[in-house]
């Protein structure tokens, strides 16, 4: 069966450290993989997109890797801050854009000062 899993439901990390979140999938062949941030009571907000032929993408303190052999994406936040506390969702885009996304359940990140 097809599955998309994010490694843990919750992750606590000390301020200033690097947070690493994992997204694994089985029986999918996504064209793109996307990461979103969701704050309590709000809709998800798009952060980064990485294509199947890209290994790594960076945006400010964020870095995403995509390994289609392992069927895994890693999402890193360097120099984490309490304001980074939120739920982070990974999503698969199976058909190269403008098709419905398949979302993981999310990882709730808490950055402790």
Smallest distance, other proteins to C-beta of residue 105, A: 4
Q: Determine the interface stretch with other proteins among 19-27, 52-60, 76-84, 85-93 (rule: CB under 8 A).
A: 85-93
CA–CA dist 106, 39 (Å, integer): 11
Compose the 61-80 pattern: x for residues touching other proteins by CB under 8 A, - for all others: --------------------
Cα(110)–Cα(73) distance, integer angstroms: 20
* Residue closer to other proteins (CB basis): 60 or 113: 60
CB 35 within 8 A of CB 88: yes
* Residue among 25 and 80 whose Cβ is closer to other proteins: 25
- Burial of 83-101, coded b for 16+ CB within 10 Å and e otherwise, reads ebbbbbbbbbbeeeeeeeb
Interaction of residue 32 with other proteins, rule CB under 8 A: yes
Q: With CB under 8 A, what is the number of residues at the site for other proteins? A: 23
Q: How many CB atoms lie within 10 A of CB 105?
A: 11
- For position 44 contacting other proteins by CB under 8 A, the verdict is yes
* CA pair distance 71, 81, nearest whole angstrom: 29
Site for other proteins contains 98 (CB under 8 A): yes
Residue ranges in contact with other proteins by CB under 8 A: 32, 34, 41-46, 49, 89, 91, 93, 96-106
């Amino acid at each position: 069966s097809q599955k998309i899993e994010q490694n843990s439901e919750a992750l606590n990390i000390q301020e200033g450290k690097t947070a690493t979140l994992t997204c694994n999938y089985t029986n999918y062949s996504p064209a793109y993989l996307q990461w979103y941030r969701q704050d309590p009571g709000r809709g998800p907000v798009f952060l980064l997109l990485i294509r199947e032929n890209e290994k790594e993408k960076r945006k400010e303190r964020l870095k995403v890797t995509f390994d289609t052999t392992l069927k895994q994406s890693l999402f890193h936040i360097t120099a984490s801050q309490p304001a980074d506390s939120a739920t982070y969702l990974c999503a698969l885009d199976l058909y190269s854009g403008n098709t419905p996304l398949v979302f993981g359940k999310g990882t709730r990140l808490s950055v402790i000062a």
